[in-house]
Structure 1
């Protein structure tokens, strides 16, 4: 079946949101799998190795559920029909479905976690700190892009890491470390799954299970609702509108400082030396040079950006490097009745795993959130880019909430993260350059948002 299934997967995978090789030419694809459950439906797990025409190789994890006949209610999850031979020797077809969207195929993951099973190359590691629900199906979370998650009732959320890389995923590593601190701003880790490397290398993290955060509200939705409230009030300032978000932003700053402090307490830290500052500046400059052909509009900010990055190389700042979130924005936080919860310590999924596990400055996370406030404030200007009143109010909202976040962080940590820091300015600018490339390729109408921010960030350097 392997060749036939590989051909089916070759047709199906490029259309999945989590597949990172869209638009790239495939040279070869192979798969190897094993059965995780032989009950009805049969559940198999496959490592799919994609070799691209340029020689690059990526490995993806694809769980499949199998049916003897087509299931109409699963039509949107159909992967394909695979030829097979029945026990009577007759030719027939088995129907493969995306097992993460087949509710009947979802219970075995938690059954094996509870039992701390080893199934084929897959090893299940329960954390042993809280009960893991059994006997309930998981419902797929439809908003994700890089991974696939299942919510089991109101108790647990299961994340499958689609792209496999050797080593412990930062989301598991940091989740395990922070669980021991009992930090109130994280969702406790309940367990994780590893899969052996077929070539004898370090195992890869296949999945993790966390406590599900009940009754929570997404930070991005809350922030953008506040912006809409402000736009609807033509004669009120940001601090006069009922939906003012500044108090939440201040509490979010304090929560971020708390998480950073605990990360520094339980994981490695290291003072940043001059070489680190120089290497950081070089990497930012390299990303800028690579972005210029994609976004020609960056040319007008080129001198200012180079000056911002050069200031990092010469910065006298005292920085202690530590583990950080690495991809911090309003979509990675939830507000509950008791405060903010930070999610997804996986880091930027596009970066290699080894890079995501490196020590960094907490200012990278601060910069990510400050950029997110700018996006929340200005995203509605895309519809009316020439409205000066809206532009003024967007700037007012962004400045108010950026300041509140920094005040909350400072009050909780004793460190002002948003003072006159060349490193913070450079982190923000570097993130905005990344956003420019993303918007140019995916949402050209949104390119105005990061370009506007670059005008602000480079103003003091030119």
Structure 2
């Protein structure tokens, strides 16, 4: 199995050290997830590379069995790890994030607050925030992959939620989960994507590790950086073409749309800072005095 994992890892965009030779790959733990919408397993893989200590990765796994009308080995590439056999049945062991059932099972487990025990006694805790109540009519089996896969894997669920699986796992409190939960459930800040739920691995010795999060999907037309660059490029192009002395009459110079957007951005950032000043019974978010020197 180590050889199979090795060959699979080096070809994944989310593997962090593709340029370094993998020296060892082991199954550290696994958990079977069963929910009304589907099932599957998450394997926790420890991979070490040259001059890099072991790092843990989350690899959901499931099997698709071959039939007269379906050849999963070819259909599911490049997500297939290996061929498998059970008696006369042949199938494909593959990354379950490419399946129809596993992502739905994760969303279902989050919505119901389910907990699963791993093979080595850890607990996988699925929990929803208060904000999830507005999304209980979502169809978790209607999903599509978001963009080009990078360090994590994200799926758009029913055009309303985003399920993100962290591939390289890091022990400790995850800021995206911690801050997202605070802004969503405590501060009720409406201008960032709300945190709807999380999946965390709890180890009695090492504490908590975030495995996945579920967030609101916010439609957008791009990011502020690109918006600013496009505005500046239009302004420079207009200035290059303008007759001498007519700079101030250019449409881009009279258009205050960009300034209005920046004003809104500044307002939202100010509101965000104000949200963090709330007096709450949580030391992680209690405002601290800044003392010079």
- TM-score class, shorter-chain normalisation, is 0.7 to 0.9
- Which residue of structure 2 lines up, in the alignment, with residue 259 of structure 1? 272
- Which residue of structure 2 lines up, in the alignment, with residue 28 of structure 1? 24
CA contact (8 A) 2:38 2:105 kept: no
> 2: distance between equivalents of 1:224 and 1:72?
45
- Which residue of structure 2 lines up, in the alignment, with residue 127 of structure 1? 129
* Residues 373-392 of structure 1 aligned to structure 2 (within 5 Å): none
> 2: distance between equivalents of 1:188 and 1:38?
24
- Which residue of structure 2 lines up, in the alignment, with residue 151 of structure 1? 156
Q: CA deviation at 1:193?
A: 0.9
CA contact (8 A) 2:235 2:252 kept: no
* Residues 45-124 of structure 1 aligned to structure 2 (within 5 Å): 45-54=42-51, 56-69=53-66, 70-71=71-72, 74-84=75-85, 86=86, 88=87, 93-120=90-117, 121-124=123-126
Instruction: Give per-residue Cα distances to partners, 1:426-457, cap 9 Å, x unaligned.
Output: xxxxxxxxxxxxxxxxxxxxxxxxxxxxxxxx
> 1: distance between equivalents of 2:92 and 2:254?
55
CA contact (8 A) 1:238 1:244 kept: no
> 2: distance between equivalents of 1:104 and 1:74?
16
- Which residue of structure 2 lines up, in the alignment, with residue 196 of structure 1? 202
- Which residue of structure 2 lines up, in the alignment, with residue 245 of structure 1? 258
- Which residue of structure 2 lines up, in the alignment, with residue 10 of structure 1? 6
CA contact (8 A) 1:141 1:150 kept: yes
> 2: distance between equivalents of 1:273 and 1:250?
31
TM (norm. structure 1) is 0.51
- Which residue of structure 1 lines up, in the alignment, with residue 188 of structure 2? 182
| 259 and 47 in structure 1: CA distance in 2 versus 1, 3 angstrom threshold | same
Q: CA deviation at 1:111?
A: 1.1
> 1: distance between equivalents of 2:266 and 2:102?
40
Residue 130 of structure 2 aligns to a residue whose secondary structure is: coil
1:210 aligns with 2:212: no
Q: CA deviation at 1:35?
A: 2.3
> 2: distance between equivalents of 1:167 and 1:155?
29
> 2: distance between equivalents of 1:110 and 1:191?
9
CA contact (8 A) 1:29 1:49 kept: yes
The gaps in structure 2 that reach 5 residues or longer are 118-122
Instruction: Give per-residue Cα distances to partners, 1:319-367, cap 9 Å, x unaligned.
Output: xxxxxxxxxxxxxxxxxxxxxxxxxxxxxxxxxxxxxxxxxxxxxxxxx
Q: CA RMSD in A?
A: 3.0
| 228 and 239 in structure 1: CA distance in 2 versus 1, 3 angstrom threshold | closer
> 2: distance between equivalents of 1:106 and 1:242?
45
> 1: distance between equivalents of 2:260 and 2:150?
30
1:270 aligns with 2:288: yes
> 2: distance between equivalents of 1:158 and 1:124?
13
